[in-house]
Amino acid sequence: MAEQLQKTFQGATAEDAIPNFDTQQYYSTMQQVMQNPQFMTMAEHLGTALMQVYLFIFWLVSYSYSLFNCKS
């Protein structure tokens, strides 16, 4: 799949703001990626972990703010 994506972006230079690529090839490759159960499992785990980090940070900030307000 990585090779397919590399072939999709052939001809693009570092200066190109929008790379010149084959949209059909890109779409086909993305369909294959999304149908890969291992990728989907990894993506779900990553999403869950990111939400846990976000919720922890939100809790930590809220807790810190409440401690700050109690001292006033």
Average pLDDT over residues 56-71: 77
Q: Answer whether residue 71 shows pLDDT above 60.
A: no
Task: Answer whether residue 19 is part of any domain.
Answer: no
Task: Answer whether residue 9 is part of any domain.
Answer: no
- Domain carrying residue 64: 36-72
Number of domains in the chain: 1
Q: What is the pTM of this model?
A: 0.52
Task: Answer whether residue 63 is part of any domain.
Answer: yes
Q: Answer whether residue 31 shows pLDDT above 70.
A: yes
Task: Answer whether residue 50 is part of any domain.
Answer: yes
Task: Answer whether residue 49 is part of any domain.
Answer: yes
Query: Residue 1 has what pLDDT?
Result: 65
**43-58: per-residue pLDDT in tens?**
999 999 988 888 888 8
Selection from 52, 31, 58 nearest residue 44 by Cα: 52
Calculate the average pLDDT of the chain: 79
Task: Answer whether residue 13 is part of any domain.
Answer: no
Q: How many CA atoms lie within 13 A of 20 on its CB side?
A: 6
Average pLDDT over residues 7-32: 73
Task: Answer whether residue 2 is part of any domain.
Answer: no
